């Protein structure tokens, strides 16, 4: 049972470099999410996609772009990485399609990203 798969697991970038984080889910879920986790701040939503072909900004979208390639895949792109983007990034998915909000989200194992 793969669930939500994120690649890569670790990455070190230099300031100004670009990178795409990949996420795929095999649960036929409608909604997908990208979060960042920083010490003392919990998880904060970057972008989400309620269905294939739609994306919306979350709490901290600046410096990021996303693509919902198909129902399975949702990628996060850093166009010009900055040290403030050093974090652990989590992808999640759920069955929710604006249904009233009690469907749990399923998380990947995260990508640990360091920007020097």
Is the sign of the CA dihedral 106, 13, 46, 25 positive or negative? Answer: negative
Q: Are 3 and 104 in contact (CB under 8 A)?
A: no
Q: Is 90 in the site for another protein (CB under 8 A)?
A: yes
Q: What is the number of alpha carbons within 13 Å of residue 13 lying toward its C-beta?
A: 23
Q: Structure tokens of 33? A: 């999410």
For residue 92, the minimal CB distance to another protein (Å) is 8
Q: How far is the CB of 14 from another protein (least distance, A)?
A: 25
Q: Which of 1, 28, 62, 102 is in the footprint of another protein by CB under 8 A?
A: 102
Q: Which residues bind another protein (CB under 8 A)?
A: 4, 31, 33, 40-45, 48, 50, 58, 90, 92, 94, 96-110
């Amino acid at each position: 049972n793969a669930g939500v798969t994120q690649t890569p697991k670790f990455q070190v970038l230099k300031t100004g470099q670009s990178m795409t984080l990949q996420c795929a889910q095999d649960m036929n879920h409608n909604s997908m999410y990208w979060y960042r986790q920083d010490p003392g701040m919990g998880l904060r939503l970057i972008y989400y996609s309620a269905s294939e072909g739609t994306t919306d900004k979350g709490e901290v979208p600046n410096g990021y772009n996303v693509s919902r390639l198909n129902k399975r895949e949702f990628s996060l792109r850093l166009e010009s990485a900055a040290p403030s983007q050093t974090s652990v990034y989590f992808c999640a998915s759920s069955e929710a399609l604006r249904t009233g909000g009690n469907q749990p989200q399923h998380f990947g194992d995260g990508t640990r990203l360091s920007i020097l």
